[in-house]
């Protein structure tokens, strides 16, 4: 592969910033793994589903973990699964769903590796019930650049466990992970949809539905302003009960965006039109769907990130503590509406109290909002800084897995345990993200 093609393949999902690793090192056999020679810094690269630069290491080496793709053990009686860190969640689901098991926590795409899911301590639609990915991790092995291998678990090498869950790949290479799965009776999900007209309505609906449903998430129309500000669609779901003998529909083939258009197809016109249409689209109040469209609606459109054109896009995901959520989210949505830089994929969700203990984990009690913005250069960066102002003042935080631009001072405010964490960074590991946020200016 040419170096341009290689670097393209090693881009992050938002395709910003550019990726130019000096070296890409495929990891295949975990027993004989050797890190590249000094002086370069290394960083594990899973499947590049992070949006910004946590998975990039410009001018350094990327350790490609997808080759660590073996299942090690699975006990269908207890639902304990151990696999190498490069195995994708989609590969795990293909194995476990037919045997009546499901992931206890899954993000909004199944194309992430086990190692990537641990390193960002990813969250799913059931955070309010079970917490984040780290809460289902029973153990993992951490390989350090000095060759040492450390078994980490909630009650063994606890400090290394807490540094590495949500540790952004900086504490060493996770070689394998053991997780606890949850039982399911079938692959179906019972779903309820409700339209809401404002943020207050969202919060009221959420209180009502979260008590009854383990999964919930909302889409929000962020092109709306004035009286319609904060309107959206609430979606709640649960695994269907036993005894449901519905036959599986024929498998649908995923569509692909075949190339990157010269301009972003996501613009003020398409965003406004899409949001209005999507909000008013008739949908049944209650229904049954397979788990894939419920958990992974975007996975059926491969390479959808190409729609944002050659300059890529930013994702902004913040969490705001419960007491300030109503006011701060209203302000964020108002600032977006005024900027005219709306987002199609705006998602709102309440996080619960349960945490994994990861020192740099993003999920914490509050309401989280995630939005995509086409990269229009400085005007987009200015808007995101204005959103950060609100998040900082409200005592919230921004998600590193989705970030490509937060300042060092914002990072230190959002993740006050960064200093304790720094002592656990492998001396041979670094990332573009870490270099940015650990620089002292500003
Ligand atoms: C469509 C879409 C929906 C998403 N929905 C959600 C969501 O609902 N919730 C959520 O939390 N996230 C979500 N994400 C983000 C995604 O889940 C995370 O960024 C995830 O960590 C990506 O995993 P990856 O395997 O692609 O890792 P990469 O993006 O390649 O790397 C992520 C981090 O993990 C580190 N890493 C990877 N492998 C290892 C290893 N073996 N050892 C040590 N460190 C390692 C890397 O160094 C990097 O810091 C979504 C992303 C997309 C594209």
Nearest CA to ligand 1 atom 1: 109
Ligand 1 atom closest to 111 (CA): 26
pLDDT at 279: 78
- Ligand 1 centroid–CA 401 distance in Å is 7
81-99 pLDDT, tens digit per residue, is 999 999 999 999 999 999 9
Phi-psi region of 205 (alpha: psi -120 to 50; beta: other; left: phi over 0): alpha
- Alpha-carbon distances of 140 from 116, 204, 247, rounded to whole Å: 13, 39, 38
Does 108 sit in the ligand 1 pocket, CB within 6 Å? yes
pLDDT at 42: 95
Does 55 sit in the ligand 1 pocket, CB within 6 Å? yes
Nearest of 347, 397, 436, 427 to residue 121 by alpha carbon: 397
Instruction: Quote the pTM value.
Output: 0.96
Q: In angstroms, rounded to a whole number, what is the distance separating the alpha carbons of residues 372 and 133?
A: 23
Nearest CA to ligand 1 atom 18: 50
Does 43 sit in the ligand 1 pocket, CB within 6 Å? yes
Q: What percent of the chain has pLDDT over 70?
A: 96
Question: Taking the CA of residue 272 as centre, how many other CA atoms within 13 Å lie in the half-sphere pointing to its CB?
Answer: 9
Best residue among 67, 85, 87, 115 to mutate for probing ligand 1's pocket (most ligand atoms within 8 Å of CB) is 115
136 pLDDT above the threshold of 90: yes
Calculate the average pLDDT of the chain.
Answer: 92
- Find the mean pLDDT for residues 419-440: 94
226-284 pLDDT, tens digit per residue, is 888 889 999 999 999 998 766 777 777 777 777 787 777 777 667 777 777 777 887 88
pLDDT at 151: 98
- Ligand 1 centroid–CA 115 distance in Å is 8
**Which of 38-47, 185-194, 423-432 has the weakest average pLDDT?**
38-47
pLDDT at 337: 86
Nearest CA to ligand 1 atom 9: 107
442 cis-preceded (ω within 30 degrees of 0): yes
Do 375 and 361 touch, CB atoms closer than 8 A? no
Do 228 and 221 touch, CB atoms closer than 8 A? yes
- Find the mean pLDDT for residues 370-377: 94
Does 44 sit in the ligand 1 pocket, CB within 6 Å? yes
168/1: higher pLDDT: 168
Does 122 sit in the ligand 1 pocket, CB within 6 Å? yes
**Which of 120-134, 251-265, 312-326, 388-402 has the weakest average pLDDT?**
251-265
Work out the pLDDT band at 440, boundaries 50, 70, 90: low
3 pLDDT above the threshold of 70: no
pLDDT at 370: 96
Q: What structural domains does the chain harbor?
A: 69-184 (3.30.465.10), 188-407 (3.30.70.2520)
Best residue among 400, 401, 436 to mutate for probing ligand 1's pocket (most ligand atoms within 8 Å of CB) is 401
- 87-121 core/surface letters (b: 16 or more CB in 10 A; e: else): bbbebbbeebbeeebbbbbbbbbbbbbbbbbbbbb
Work out the pLDDT band at 2, boundaries 50, 70, 90: low
Ligand 1 atom closest to 50 (CA): 19
- 249-287 core/surface letters (b: 16 or more CB in 10 A; e: else): eeeeeeeeeeebeeebebeeeebbebbeeebeeeeeeee
- Find the mean pLDDT for residues 63-82: 98
263/218: higher pLDDT: 218
Work out the pLDDT band at 441, boundaries 50, 70, 90: low
335-352 pLDDT, tens digit per residue, is 998 888 877 788 999 999
359 pLDDT above the threshold of 80: yes
38/376: higher pLDDT: 376
- Find the mean pLDDT for residues 181-203: 95
Nearest of 401, 375, 405 to residue 387 by alpha carbon: 405
């Amino acid at each position: 592969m040419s170096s341009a093609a290689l670097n393209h393949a090693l881009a992050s999902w938002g395709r910003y910033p550019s990726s130019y690793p000096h070296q890409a090192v495929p990891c295949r056999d975990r027993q004989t793994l050797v890190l590249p020679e000094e002086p370069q810094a290394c960083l594990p690269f899973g499947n590049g589903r992070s949006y910004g630069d946590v998975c990039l290491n410009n001018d350094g080496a990327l350790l490609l973990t997808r080759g660590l793709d073996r299942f090690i053990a699975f006990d269908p009686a207890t639902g304990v699964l151990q696999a190498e860190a490069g195995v994708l969640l989609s590969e795990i689901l293909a194995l476990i769903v037919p045997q009546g098991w499901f992931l206890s926590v899954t993000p909004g795409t199944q194309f992430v590796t086990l190692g990537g899911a641990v390193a960002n301590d990813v969250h799913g639609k059931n955070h309010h019930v079970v917490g984040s990915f780290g809460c289902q991790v029973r153990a993992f092995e951490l390989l350090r650049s000095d060759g040492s291998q450390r078994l980490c678990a909630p009650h063994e090498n606890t400090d290394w466990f807490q540094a590495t869950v949500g540790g952004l790949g900086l504490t060493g290479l996770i070689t394998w992970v053991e997780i606890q799965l949850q039982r399911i009776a079938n692959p179906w999900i019972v779903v309820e949809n409700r339209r809401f007209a404002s943020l207050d309505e969202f919060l009221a609906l959420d209180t009502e539905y979260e008590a009854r449903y383990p999964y919930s998430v909302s889409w929000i129309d962020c092109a709306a302003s004035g009286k319609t500000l904060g309107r959206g669609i609430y979606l709640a779901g649960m695994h269907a009960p036993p005894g449901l003998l519905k036959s599986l529909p024929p498998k649908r083939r995923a569509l692909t965006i075949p190339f990157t258009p010269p301009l972003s197809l996501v613009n003020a016109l398409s965003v406004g039109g899409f949001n209005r249409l999507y909000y008013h689209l008739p949908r049944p109040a209650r229904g049954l769907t397979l788990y894939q469209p419920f958990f992974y609606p975007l996975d059926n459109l491969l390479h959808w990130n190409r729609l944002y054109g050659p300059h890529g896009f930013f994702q902004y995901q913040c969490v705001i503590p419960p007491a300030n959520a109503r006011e701060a989210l209203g302000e964020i949505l108002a600032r977006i509406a005024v900027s005219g830089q709306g987002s199609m994929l705006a998602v709102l969700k309440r996080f619960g109290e349960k945490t994994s203990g990861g020192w740099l984990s993003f999920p914490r009690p509050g309401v989280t909002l995630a939005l995509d913005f086409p990269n229009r250069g400085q005007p987009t960066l200015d808007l995101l800084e204005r959103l950060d102002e609100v998040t900082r003042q409200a005592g919230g935080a921004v998600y590193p897995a989705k970030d490509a631009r937060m300042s060092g001072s914002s990072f230190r405010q959002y993740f006050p345990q960064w200093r304790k964490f720094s002592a656990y960074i492998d001396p041979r590991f670094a990332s573009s993200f870490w270099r940015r946020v650990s620089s002292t200016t500003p």
